Chains A and B, each alone.
Chain A
Amino acid sequence: MKKIIRSLIPVCCLMLFSALLIQPATASAEEDLFYTYTYDYWGIERESPDAYAMNSVVLGDDFGIGNFNAPEGMFVKDNQLYICDTLNNRIIQFSYANDEFSLVKVVTEVNNNGKPEPILQPYDVFVTDDDEWYIADYGNQRIVYTDNSQNVIGTIYKPEDEETLNADYMFLPKKLVVDSAKRIFVQAENINKGFMEFEDGGEFVGYIGAADVQFDFIKYIYKLISTQEQRDQMEAFVPTEYNNIALDSEGFIYATLSKFESDNASSSKPIRRLNAKGTDILIRNGYYEQIGDVQIGNGGGYNGSSKFADVTVLDNDCYYCLDQTRGRVFGYDFQGNMLYAFGGIGYKQGCFKYPVAIESLGDSLLILDKELGIVTQMTLTEYGTLINKALDTYKIGEYDTSADYWRDVLKLNGNYDLAYIGIGRSLLRQDRFEEAMEYFKLKLDYKNYSKAYKLYRKDRIEDNVKYVFIIFVALLVIVFIKNTVKKIRREVNEE
Chain B
Amino acid sequence: MKSITKSSAKAKLIHFRDTLRYSLHCIVSPFDGFWDLTHEHRGSASAATFIVIMTILTNIWKMRYTSFVFIRVQWEYFNIVLNICSFLLPFFVWVLSNWCLTTLFDGKGTMKDIYIGSAYALTPYVLIQLPMIFASNFITYEEGAFYNYFLSFSIIWCAFLFLASVMQIHDFSFGKAIFSILCILVGMLVIVFIMVLFFSLISEAVAYFISLYKEIAFRFY
Contact = CB atoms under 8 A, between A and B. Distances in A.
Nearest to A441: B68
B68 A42 contact: no
B215 interface: no
Name the residue among B70, B74, B141 with the largest chain A CB count within 10 angstroms: B141
Contact of B68 (A444, A451, A454): A444
B76 to A, nearest CB: 9
B138 A450 contact: no
Contact of B142 (A42, A444, A450, A457): A450
B41 to A, nearest CB: 41
B68 A446 contact: yes
A446 B142 CA distance: 10
B141 A450 contact: yes
Name the residue among A447, A450, A454 with the largest chain B CB count within 10 angstroms: A450
A446 B74 contact: no
A446 B68 CA distance: 7
Interface string B56-78: 00000000000011101010000
12 contacts: A41-B72, A441-B68, A444-B68, A446-B68, A446-B70, A446-B72, A447-B141, A449-B69, A450-B141, A450-B142, A454-B140, A457-B138
Given A42-B74, A441-B68, A446 B138 contact: no
Interface string A411-453: 0000000000000000000000000000001001011011101
A41 to B, nearest CB: 7
Contacts of B141: 446-447, 449-450
Kindly list the 9 A-B residue pairs having the minimum CB-CB distance in the complex, ordered from nearest. Answer: A450-B141, A450-B140, A446-B69, A454-B140, A444-B72, A453-B140, A446-B141, A42-B74, A447-B141
Interface string B122-158: 0000000000000000101110000000000000000
Contacts of B70: 446
Contacts of B74: 42
A455 to B, nearest CB: 10
Interface in B4-27: none
A211 B142 CA distance: 33
Interface in B46-92: 68-70, 72, 74
A120 to B, nearest CB: 56
B91 to A, nearest CB: 30
A457 B69 CA distance: 15
A454 to B, nearest CB: 5
Contacts of A441: 68
A446 B72 CA distance: 9
Instruction: Please tell me the size bucket of the interface on B.
Output: under 10
Interface of B: 68-70, 72, 74, 138, 140-142
Given A446-B69, A450-B69, 6 more contacts: A446-B72, A446-B141, A449-B68, A449-B69, A450-B142, A453-B69
- Interface of A (DSSP majority class): helix
A460 to B, nearest CB: 10
Interface string A168-197: 000000000000000000000000000000
Contacts of B142: 450, 454
Contacts of A42: 74
A115 to B, nearest CB: 68
A454 B69 CA distance: 12
B142 to A, nearest CB: 6
B68 to A, nearest CB: 6
A460 B86 CA distance: 40
A41 B138 CA distance: 23
Name the residue among B69, B70, B74, B142 with the largest chain A CB count within 10 angstroms: B69
Contacts of B138: 457
A446 B144 CA distance: 11
A446 B71 CA distance: 10
Nearest to A455: B140
Nearest to B144: A450
Interface string A148-163: 0000000000000000
B108 to A, nearest CB: 46
A42 B141 CA distance: 19
Contacts of B72: 41, 444, 446
B64 to A, nearest CB: 15
Nearest to A456: B140
Interface in A372-408: none
Contacts of B69: 446, 449-450, 453
Contacts of A446: 68-70, 72, 141
Nearest to A41: B72
Interface string A43-61: 0000000000000000000
A42 B72 CA distance: 10
Contacts of A451: 140
Nearest to B142: A450
A449 B72 CA distance: 13
B78 to A, nearest CB: 12
Contacts of B68: 441, 444, 446, 449
Nearest to B137: A453
Contacts of A453: 69, 140
Contacts of A449: 68-69, 141
A457 to B, nearest CB: 7
Name the residue among B70, B140, B141 with the largest chain A CB count within 10 angstroms: B140
Interface in A74-123: none
A313 to B, nearest CB: 31
B20 to A, nearest CB: 31
Nearest to A452: B140
Nearest to B69: A446
Nearest to B77: A42
Nearest to A448: B141
Contacts of A444: 68, 72
Interface in A1-46: 41-42
Nearest to B71: A446
A447 B141 CA distance: 6
